[in-house]
Amino acid sequence: MEEGGVIVDYHGCDLFPQRWFNIVFVLRTDNTQLYTRLESRGYTGKKLQDNVQCEIFQTIYEEAMEAYSEEIVHQLLSNTPEDLEHNLAQIVQWTQQWMKDHN
């Protein structure tokens, strides 16, 4: 991590210190779509309910806002394949700009 250039994919904010990150992306999904996705993955009962409630109450986003500087936390919608493409392009653009600014 000290060398930089690392992308971390994680579902929480309690493990990593702020100094490790220059930007944090929180993926958000419409609750109806999230329910359908999780159900298709075999989630049932409490696990399904907990995940949907977590999205409804913006738990991960709020944890990110508390754990890291507000300026580096960004929400990205992740409802459709087009959203995925847009998010990827946005992350690549940000990464390229960061590399220009810091090299």
Residue-wise pLDDT for 62-92, tens only, equals 999 999 999 999 999 999 999 999 999 999 9
In a domain, 17, yes or no: no
Residue-level pLDDT at 38: 96
In this prediction the pTM is: 0.85
Number of domains in the chain: 1
Domain containing 34 — which CATH number? 3.40.50.300
In a domain, 68, yes or no: yes
* Domain residue limits at 79: 22-102
Residue type, 87: N
In a domain, 47, yes or no: yes
In a domain, 73, yes or no: yes
Residue-wise pLDDT for 32-51, tens only, equals 999 999 999 999 999 999 99
> Mean pLDDT across the stretch 15-25?
88
In a domain, 7, yes or no: no
DSSP string for residues in 36-64: HHHHHTT--HHHHHHHHHHHHTTHHHHHH
Mean pLDDT, rounded, of the chain: 91
Residue 64's Cβ-count burial label (10 Å; 0-12, 13-18, 19+) is buried
